[in-house]
Amino acid sequence: MIKGIVAAALCAVLCAGSAEAAGNLTARATRLPPLVFDKELKPSVQSYELTTGTYYRLTVESKAGDEWQFAAPELFANSYVDQIAIRDIEIHGARSFGWIEFDADGAVNIYFIPIRPGEYGFGVRGRAPVGKFVVK
């Protein structure tokens, strides 16, 4: 009985094939169009089309002139966040985060790889989403 279970498990593993990733997934990021929020906190882009397993660089820029928070928690919870860069400061191994607060005009670069397909909203924390990331 045990030999039959082991044989079936071994066959399932060998017959399923293998999943391999060749090369360094974080070697060169695909730059997305910058996401700029104006004084009314309206985004310059309403929708992004992304692919799982692709390394992206997203620049989020504030031209609001006031304090606010950018949020896309579902996207980043379903992504590998490699790095967050603000001017000459880099945060590595962030994995995920809730939001980024802008106290003044400025920009942040987020480097990430979407892992799970889905549709994820983005916008100002505490408000309804104003845009979406569609991950296929």
Distance CA 76, CA 82 (A): 10
Which pLDDT does position 109 carry in this prediction? 97
Q: What is the pLDDT of residue 9?
A: 38
| pLDDT at position 24 | 60
- For the chain, 136 residues long, the average pLDDT of each consecutive 10-residue run is 42 40 69 96 96 96 94 94 91 83 95 96 93 97
**pLDDT at position 98, please?**
83
Query: What is the distance of C-alpha 50 from the center of its chain?
Result: 9
Query: Which domains are assigned to the chain?
Result: 25-135 (2.60.40.420)
Kindly report the pTM of this predicted structure: 0.79
